[in-house]
Structure 1
Amino acid sequence: MNKTNDLKTLGDRLDAVESHLMHQDKTIESLNQTITDQWLRIEALARQIANLSERVEETEASAPAPANERPPHY
């Protein structure tokens, strides 16, 4: 009878470990999807910043040079 109790206890423990493992697998999958989504967003934002930087440089390059004028407070 003691052996049957031990097997039942081991079975319960195995079920608990399997349940815990399934929960961890779902959590890891969810975290992986979150990281993938964030990485795609980071790449999109990096491209947007690069495009905006190029536009600023082009605008600065095509802007007329400032005239050597006295500041308004003189």
Structure 2
Amino acid sequence: MPSKLEQRIEQLEMQIAFQDDTIEQLNQALTDQQWQLDKMTRQLQLLGDKFKEFQPSPIASQAEETPPPHY
């Protein structure tokens, strides 16, 4: 029959193993999120670049519009 000390050591070893597994899962989740964030950042940069390439609208802004004749 194992002594209380042996039982306690075994319990601590199981806790450490569980914590190691949890840390590994959290690390993998963080790595995946960083990859997704990097991908979205690149996509946003590409969209920003494409947006800058658009020609200005041929429609005049409100400030440039001539007021209607009844004003």
TM-score (ref. length: structure 2)? 0.79
Unpaired segments ≥5 residues, structure 2 = none
Where does the alignment leave 5 or more consecutive residues of structure 1 unmatched?
none
Q: Give the % identical residues.
A: 36
Cα deviations across residues 10-69 of structure 1 (Å, max 9, x unaligned)?
10000000000000000000000000000000000000110011111111xx33565543
Q: Runs ≥4 in structure 1, deviation > 4 angstroms? A: 64-68, 71-74
Q: Which aligned pairs between 1:18-57 and structure 2 lie closer than 5 A?
A: 18-57=13-52
Larger fraction in helix? 1
Q: Within 2, Cα distance between the matches of 1:35 and 1:26?
A: 14
RMSD: 2.5
Change (3 A) 1:71 1:15: farther
Q: How many residues align?
A: 67
